[in-house]
Amino acid sequence: MDTEEEATMTHPAGTHYSRLAAIIIAFGSIMTGLEAQPVDNDPNELRQYRARRAEAAGRERRITFNNDGDDHILRGDFSMEAFLEQRSTPLIGSKVDSIVYCTSRPFGLFLHQTQVGDVFLERDAFGPDGRNVVGDLLELGTDPLQAMVEFCRRQDLEIIWSMRMNDTHDSPHTPERPHYYWSSFKQQHPEALLGSREQRPAFGSWVAVDYADPAVQDFLLRAFEEVCQGYDVDGLELDFFRHLVYFRSVAAGGRATQEEVQTMTELVRRVRHLTEVEGMRRGRPILLTARVPDSLGFCMAMGLDLATWLDEGLLDGLVAAGDFRLNSWDYSVALGKRYGVSVYADIDPFISRGQRARFDRNSLEALRGRALEAWDAGAAGIYLFNHFNPRHPLWWELGDPESLRRRDRLHFANVKGKSGYLTAAGTLAGGNEFDARPPIHPDSPLVLKPGEAIQVPVMVGGEVAGAAPAPELTLHVLSAAPEPPAVTLNGHGLAAEGIEEGWADYPLAAGQVRAGENTVQITMADRPLSADRWDVEYLCGTAPPSPWRRDRLTATSTATMQDDALLIADTGTEAGTYLYYVYPWSAQRSDRATFEAVARVVSGSNMIIVADGVAEEEVRLYPDRVELGRAGLVHPMVTDDAFHIYRVELEGADIRLYVDDVLVLEAPGGFVSPAHAGRNVAMFGASMSGTTGEALWKGVRLRTGTISVQDVVVSVRHGDG
């Protein structure tokens, strides 16, 4: 393009549009003529249409690939071939039968040509390593969605357009620094947002839109209508996981009201009607699917009356789970059978800022195990979100359950855990009450007192008894116990082969494992509690081993050895720059918990953070003072002169801080500041967003009077990788 001839328009949020806007207007004039024609409501015609739609809904979908549209960010020279090579062309010949393609961004912004909202054209929004090529595609007379439709038609693949119902990736927006994803709709309708930068909601993001607002509903319907009229898609997807929280009552910490629930149901009815009008007009069905949490109760609390949607036949397919799971696959499959709707198991990666444990939840072996569990439960297919390498073996393997039975795989009692913002509890007040999965996970361990026992269900996909050749089977248990706990599997007593870094391995015979649910019972040895006994002791000679995890390593945060100590430093002030090591210590308010660290402050802000699942406190270490930050208590002292012993004691709502065995700060009843996302951890490290810090750590240790069981895994080894 001749840049000297560019005419520049200014987006309300400060984004600049070039002459490409004229191209959009030209395409828009074509789309304007595609007005919906009245549909003959002849019962026979409608019945025939719905029969064709049911046939289309029942097609085989071994793997559905959710391409969230980020292939519009290109590294290297632009061409149509380069655009498709990023996520599409390498899939040819794989077991992918359906592509769900998302060109929506935060509400009001799109990657395809539109007259309803804004087209995202900011070419350099992603820095020097990635160029937004939406404008380049428009200059070729196409756009990302049209290019994907044509690719799928050539390859005989299904193409579904996905709408992120409440994407909030524009949350960093400020009037002074408009975010490149900030849309005209949000600029013009601040009253439709769930909050503001000054008044943020308790749940969800302030930039999310309120679906009770008629302007939001009307915009959404016009956006769907535009896609149905302008693109030859096979269906629409309502992606409610991007992002959950749709109403003010939920954002405020409550549950959706009956009026809010009815509002969303009526909106889904209108979308369904739209697909029938446009599908009958073009003479080919338009399917409607939804990606939702796998719990009727949780959905209803959020304002999504999934049972009514299914009962009224508003959906042709159901994508169960996503950022988190709440039930076994059996639950979702049974729900689909009840209403005659195919259910697809959404297998998202485990997202954690911490370092990997011994068994990687995102490994191919783990994905095989998760997929086989879903196939065995009766899922109609596997749906993959946030998996973007088109050359990865998963696209060829996960759609073939018979092949998976002969592959090495891992089966976890719980893949994703129950703590953090990408969980039920992080999305809905009291959301964990709907979570029926085993609670055991490195981020949310089970807690035992010495002598107590627990039972943990583990799903194992594939029949292993009688398999030829017989696979090698092992049960792995991660705990804070100093010796292997007593374990049975389905009533069979097991013997451990020692314990290393908390992991105890129990060899299994094929007859001890069954396809489906297996019951693991774990009993901790009874032993006297002592003030001299520490559950965990770590000397900082190397990075802390599992189940310690690192949160988080950035370009400005480092952890290096110096003079027999671990130097943790954060030199950046940007949001998200800090570095901590985190231990899931499972403290109980009914017992005393103690965390002790030997450290010398070098500069800035450094912290010990303790949380017991209810409350949280920040022990802040500065060169000239120490603080109980949440309690607002300060003790002046020099901390950079030498190594000091910092000991934090929790007992119910009481907290005490000792330095070199001297009590310096005490807050009786002051340990009450809510724990972030309900976490139960002990952490040490440097700084927080907006500050810098640096300290040397020689060792840490802790005790809680309990023992945590952090992970249960079954490995199936055929020796074929």
Query: If you write DSSP's letter for every residue of 342-379 in order, what string do you get?
Result: EEEEEEPPPP-SSPP-SS-TTSHHHHHHHHHHHHHHT-
Query: Would you state the pLDDT for residue 17?
Result: 38
d(CA 96, CA 293): 23
Q: How many domains does the chain have?
A: 3
What value does the mean pLDDT of the chain take? 89
Same domain membership, residue 149 and residue 78: yes
Containing structural domain, residue 444: 426-528+708-717
Q: What is the pTM of this model?
A: 0.83
Query: Would you state the pLDDT for residue 24?
Result: 42
Same domain membership, residue 560 and residue 487: no
Residue 22: pLDDT band with limits 50, 70, 90: very low
Query: Would you state the pLDDT for residue 13?
Result: 39
The verdict on residue 315 lying in a domain is: no
The answer, yes or no, to whether residue 276 has pLDDT greater than 90, is: yes
Q: Which two tokens stand for residue 47?
A: 């019945």
Lookup result for tokens 């040819």: 92
The answer, yes or no, to whether residue 10 has pLDDT greater than 50, is: no
Query: Would you state the pLDDT for residue 569?
Result: 92
Q: To the nearest whole percent, how much of the chain has pLDDT over 70?
A: 91
Name the most confidently modeled range: 75-79, 234-238, 544-548: 234-238
The verdict on residue 193 lying in a domain is: yes
Same domain membership, residue 712 and residue 696: no
pLDDT (mean) for 565-578: 84
Query: Would you state the pLDDT for residue 356?
Result: 54
- The answer to which of 8-22, 546-560, 701-715 has the lowest mean pLDDT is 8-22
The answer, yes or no, to whether residue 33 has pLDDT greater than 70, is: no
Residue 304: pLDDT band with limits 50, 70, 90: very high
pLDDT (mean) for 589-593: 88
d(CA 71, CA 52): 33
The verdict on residue 477 lying in a domain is: yes
Same domain membership, residue 581 and residue 502: no
d(CA 125, CA 131): 8
Query: Would you state the pLDDT for residue 540?
Result: 81
- Which residue, among 644, 651, 667, has the nearest Cα to 704 in the 3D structure? 651
Same domain membership, residue 81 and residue 3: yes
Q: Which two tokens stand for residue 123?
A: 């070419």
Pick from 286, 302, 327: which residue ends a domain? 286
Q: What is the CATH number of the domain that holds 599?
A: 2.60.120.200
Same domain membership, residue 138 and residue 27: yes
Contact of 410 with 359, CB cutoff 8 Å: yes
Same domain membership, residue 550 and residue 523: no
pLDDT (mean) for 206-233: 98
Q: Which two tokens stand for residue 495?
A: 């013997």
The verdict on residue 560 lying in a domain is: yes
Higher pLDDT, 150 or 544: 150
Query: Would you state the pLDDT for residue 646?
Result: 98
C-alpha dihedral (667, 669, 675, 679), degrees to nearest 10: 90
Residue 29: pLDDT band with limits 50, 70, 90: very low
Query: Would you state the pLDDT for residue 614?
Result: 92
pLDDT (mean) for 179-201: 95
The answer, yes or no, to whether residue 64 has pLDDT greater than 60, is: yes
The answer, yes or no, to whether residue 477 has pLDDT greater than 80, is: yes
Higher pLDDT, 23 or 338: 338
Higher pLDDT, 121 or 689: 121
Contact of 517 with 457, CB cutoff 8 Å: yes
- Which residue, among 706, 598, 585, has the nearest Cα to 661 in the 3D structure? 598
Same domain membership, residue 617 and residue 511: no
Query: Would you state the pLDDT for residue 67?
Result: 97
Query: Could you tell me which residues come within 8 angstroms of residue 181 by beta carbon, excluding any fewer than 6 positions away?
Result: 105, 106, 109, 120, 169, 170, 173
Bridge partners (DSSP) of residue 288 are: 236
Contact of 607 with 618, CB cutoff 8 Å: yes
Pick from 286, 320, 344: which residue ends a domain? 286
Contact of 103 with 163, CB cutoff 8 Å: no
Query: Would you state the pLDDT for residue 529?
Result: 53
The answer, yes or no, to whether residue 32 has pLDDT greater than 50, is: no
The answer, yes or no, to whether residue 51 has pLDDT greater than 50, is: yes
Same domain membership, residue 552 and residue 478: no
- The answer to which of 392-406, 560-574, 633-647 has the lowest mean pLDDT is 560-574
- The answer to which of 31-40, 120-129, 133-142 has the lowest mean pLDDT is 31-40
pLDDT (mean) for 635-654: 97
d(CA 125, CA 551): 27
The answer, yes or no, to whether residue 585 has pLDDT greater than 90, is: no
The verdict on residue 220 lying in a domain is: yes
Phi, psi of 557 (to 5 degrees): -125, 135
The verdict on residue 542 lying in a domain is: yes
Pick from 231, 256, 286: which residue ends a domain? 286
Phi, psi of 298 (to 5 degrees): -65, -45
Name the E strands within 340-402.
342-347, 381-385
The verdict on residue 378 lying in a domain is: no
Cis peptide before 243 (omega within 30 of 0): yes
Higher pLDDT, 131 or 536: 131
Q: What is the CATH number of the domain that holds 469?
A: 2.60.120
Bridge partners (DSSP) of residue 619 are: 608, 628
Same domain membership, residue 172 and residue 27: yes
Contact of 344 with 379, CB cutoff 8 Å: yes
Same domain membership, residue 548 and residue 511: no
The answer, yes or no, to whether residue 543 has pLDDT greater than 70, is: yes
The answer, yes or no, to whether residue 25 has pLDDT greater than 50, is: no
Residue 531: pLDDT band with limits 50, 70, 90: low
Query: Would you state the pLDDT for residue 451?
Result: 86
pLDDT (mean) for 165-175: 93
Same domain membership, residue 663 and residue 605: yes
Residue 537: pLDDT band with limits 50, 70, 90: confident
Bridge partners (DSSP) of residue 609 are: 618, 683
